[in-house]
Structure 1
Amino acid sequence: MTIAEVLALLAIGGIAGFINVMSAGGSMLTLPLLMFLGLPPQVANGTNRVAITLQSATAVSGFRRMGHGNLRVSLHLAVPAIIGSLLGAWIATWVPDAVFELVLVVAMVGASVFMLLPQPTLDTRPLTTDRLGPFILLAMFLIGLYGGFIQVGVGVLFLVVLYRILKIDLPQVNVLKVAITLLYIVPALLIFAINDQVRWGMGMTLAIGNVAGAFLAVRVNLSSRGAQWVKWLTLVMVAAILMRLVFY
């Protein structure tokens, strides 16, 4: 890697780590970056999981030190997500490049449109395991399936299920989101690694930035109502990346 590539991975990784914990959309920045740096789509997809794994571990650890988290609920939600992620990652290892790139563009556009929609103000309540019916567990399986395949925009899906359907407050959505992601992303990473679709050097460099961003986001998430400007920063950067993917 050149110095410029290292700096790009650290900078974009930092922004993505912050975005992933606070909201959604960090992989819309990091996955295309890895592809722009020369990695084939499947390899970029696998390499991106290194940063997400360490970023999620950092966020989970930070939240737990502050006394935030719900291990029992997280495990209940994570089990179907893990099963889905194994299937999704396996599919991603052999899907043709052209199909993957099309899915990437569609996912980025779809996530961006959702982020532009106004976030409704809901009467939220704590989440207990008795509220986790078959529909929610199926939704977690599908999120895991999608996340195992591409990960881009997974935070948007968590917002739909945890905030809009289960009506958990947004800071706790973020706490649960990173815990579930950590539990399902590790098996997915192993699938990519077994298929030699992980470049560890680039993944660890990106992870340094992601971890730093996640560390900062944990403090912001729990000390305020969150950074609303994160959404607009993400959308501006995603628009530029989409132009590059579609027209270059």
Structure 2
Amino acid sequence: DLASAEALLDEKTCACIVEPIQGEGGVNIATNEFLQGLRRLCDQRGILLIFDEVQCGLGRTGTLWAHEPYGVTPDLMTLAKPLGGGLPIGATLMTQAVADAIEAGDHGSTFAANPVICAAAQVVVRKISDPQFLEHVRWVGSYLHEDLMELQSKYACIREIRGRGLIWGIATTMDVTPVMQACFDAGLLTCKAGPQVLRLLPPLIIERSDVDQAIAILDRAFAQVENNPAS
């Protein structure tokens, strides 16, 4: 929360880094009040605000950047994973003010500027930034959200559905490992974001039929675990 952030940010703090949507932390979505308040706090104290969009950025939420709906601009932003379309690449974006403060030798990388990977990243960014592509992510994400809410109403062990676009967390009252294993056995790849949260990070190109198939597998997996808790 903002109060604890305010207590931690002091005269020794040069930068504050946060995820607009936590991935590994349980698919927790930052509130408008938190990110906007954090921006004001950093401005008041001369602290750089860094957004980690390695997992939640590049179209994952239905906008090119996850922070867009908040009306907050970071000083720096980190990217990786989807940027290379399967090839290893990372990038740091920054405001002109930050860029002007960097001199030769301040920032370097052992494996920077690989021409093949940079060419792939250029194609990825061009495709993902297409408004029609992002509209598809929002549409299929909304469809998935509706189905997940129906799943929640069916199983008492599901306490919350949280996410945006095509990053979703199914928060439960139990260890989700058995559910994850049941999904895997049926051909659906999921992952954990903490012991009680099942995380869904499907490809951005999925269609309605893919969602239907995934929900059917999730339905059977939760039914299996709920009926056989020892499994």
Q: Same fold (TM over 0.5)?
A: no
1 or 2, which has the higher strand percentage?
Answer: 2
1 or 2, which has the higher helix percentage?
Answer: 1
Calculate the TM-score normalised by the size of structure 2.
0.27
Of structures 1 and 2, the larger Rg is shown by 2
- Where relative contact order (Cα < 8 A, 6+ residues apart) is larger, the structure is 1
Calculate the TM-score normalised by the size of structure 1.
0.26
